[in-house]
A and B are shown apart, each in its own frame.
Chain A
Amino acid sequence: MIRLIVIDDDSDLLDGLCEFLEHNSFNVVGKGSNGKEAVDLYLQMNPDVVLIDLSMPEYDGNYAIEKIREIDSDSKIIMITGYDTSSRNLPLNTLNEILTKPIDFKQLIKTIHNLTEVKNELK
């Protein structure tokens, strides 16, 4: 089962997204509400995929992505954001994928599978 951590500061969105993922046979091994929690969860759980928001209080998505990439350059990170994909705040070159809210669920599932297949092939 694919193991994920999900990070978003909007608790209703976070809960709903995790419920959706679990219902679709993904294993949500951790959820957090800022970039610092994302890094801590990554270290503790070593997930297959990180789903993370960009704009969060104190430590944002950019902070987490930078730290997680330092820990594991091969980590698989999907950003889920309300910002447009052309926004200058987005760290496009360090992301595996970016999905705009409200996300297309089929696309989300496909993206997670595609990323983990690549990872498994490399292993």
Chain B
Amino acid sequence: MNSSENEKYSEKTLQNNTEQLIQAHRLNAIGELSTRIAHDLRNPLMIIKTSIEMMQVRKICGNTDEFGYFAKIDKAIMRMTHQIEEVLDFVKPKPLFIQTCSVADIIKSSVSKIVKSENLVIIHPQNDCLVECDAEKLEIVFLNLITNAIQAMNYDGKIDVRIEDNGKDVLIEIEDNGPGIPTDKLSKIFDPLFTTRQIGTGLGLPCCKAIIEKHGGVIGVKTILNKGTTFNIKLSKNLDAERLNEINSSLFLVTPNILE
């Protein structure tokens, strides 16, 4: 490289570093702003929630129709709360809190938080595996994937959750018999803000991907139109400490990663 090429190279590196720094500052500002907005929204949400609870227990409104409205308001509060959490998880990723956990227990806990319907069947894994992971974060992943599957099937269908112990790794599969994902949308599902639902934030799957990648794992998807979709997650049973430090200190990046 001659001196002119050297100069150009340095200039380009400097420009790249400056852009990265500006981007990091922007991300930080968005994070701070989101935290503030989330905090300010949670108070009125709690007032609504408490008021609804008291109206129900005091039977201020008693007929069946009115209880239907309460249930709708309650569901709306849950939706808003979930969306706030999803935005915060995305803009302010937290360090992992690693413990040895049972994958089956985490899945069980996720399923317990899901609103089920009569026509929905969730098949729990037959086996289990212990994994070094952040159970709370993995619960967010399973909750997101199972909720997505339920919504894709319109609350009517079968979800099969499987765990496969592969020695050093564990493979977790969540299969639904829903409509599948069209090819033109498949490459975008892990992109931030991409959503096919009116009420979605488009942050659920990017969050899942970020959490799995923070664990040093891989998430992928296989889909067949009108037959169903399977999300698969591969995790190492034991996390390398050096790798973990590296993951926790890295910037939050989301890139598409589709497994065929």
Which residues of A come within 8 Å of B, CB atoms? 10, 12-13, 16-17, 19-20, 23, 55, 81-84, 86-87, 100-103, 105
**B54→A84 contact, CB < 8 A:** no
Which residues of B come within 8 Å of A, CB atoms? 35, 38-43, 45-51, 53-54, 57-58, 77, 81, 88, 92, 94-95
Distance in angstroms from B46 CB to nearest chain A CB is 4
**B51→A82 contact, CB < 8 A:** no
Using known A-B contacts A13-B47, A20-B53, A102-B46, determine if residue A83 contacts B39 with beta carbons closer than 8 Å: yes
Chain B residues near A82 (CB, 8 Å)? 38-43, 46
CA distance A82 to B47 in the complex (A): 12
Cβ-neighbour of A12 out of B47, B88, B95 (below 8 A):
B47
Using known A-B contacts A83-B35, A102-B45, A102-B77, determine if residue A20 contacts B92 with beta carbons closer than 8 Å: no
**B94→A86 contact, CB < 8 A:** yes
CA distance A100 to B94 in the complex (A): 16
**A16→B51 contact, CB < 8 A:** yes
**A84→B88 contact, CB < 8 A:** yes
Chain B residues near A12 (CB, 8 Å)? 47
Chain A residues near B35 (CB, 8 Å)? 83-84, 87
Chain A residues near B54 (CB, 8 Å)? 16, 19-20, 23
CA distance A115 to B243 in the complex (A): 38
CA distance A8 to B57 in the complex (A): 23
Chain A residues near B42 (CB, 8 Å)? 82, 100-102
CA distance A101 to B42 in the complex (A): 5
Q: Which residue of A lies closest to B48 (CB)?
A: A102
Q: Which residue of B lies closest to A8 (CB)?
A: B43
**A16→B43 contact, CB < 8 A:** no
CA distance A12 to B49 in the complex (A): 12
CA distance A82 to B95 in the complex (A): 20
Can you give 9 A-B contacts (C-beta < 8 A)? A10-B47, A13-B46, A16-B46, A16-B50, A20-B53, A83-B35, A83-B39, A84-B88, A86-B95
Other A-B pairs beyond A16-B51, A55-B39, A102-B46, 9, CB < 8 Å? A16-B46, A20-B53, A82-B38, A82-B39, A82-B40, A82-B43, A101-B42, A102-B42, A105-B53
Distance in angstroms from B68 CB to nearest chain A CB is 20
CA distance A102 to B41 in the complex (A): 9
CA distance A13 to B46 in the complex (A): 7
CA distance A10 to B39 in the complex (A): 13
Chain B residues near A86 (CB, 8 Å)? 92, 94-95
Using known A-B contacts A84-B35, A87-B35, determine if residue A101 contacts B92 with beta carbons closer than 8 Å: no
Chain A residues near B41 (CB, 8 Å)? 82
CA distance A41 to B77 in the complex (A): 32
Chain B residues near A17 (CB, 8 Å)? 46, 50
Q: Which residue of B lies closest to A17 (CB)?
A: B50
CA distance A122 to B92 in the complex (A): 39
Q: Which residue of A lies closest to B93 (CB)?
A: A86
CA distance A102 to B88 in the complex (A): 15
Chain A residues near B57 (CB, 8 Å)? 23
Chain B residues near A103 (CB, 8 Å)? 46, 49
Chain B residues near A23 (CB, 8 Å)? 54, 57-58
Chain A residues near B51 (CB, 8 Å)? 16
Distance in angstroms from A95 CB to nearest chain B CB is 16
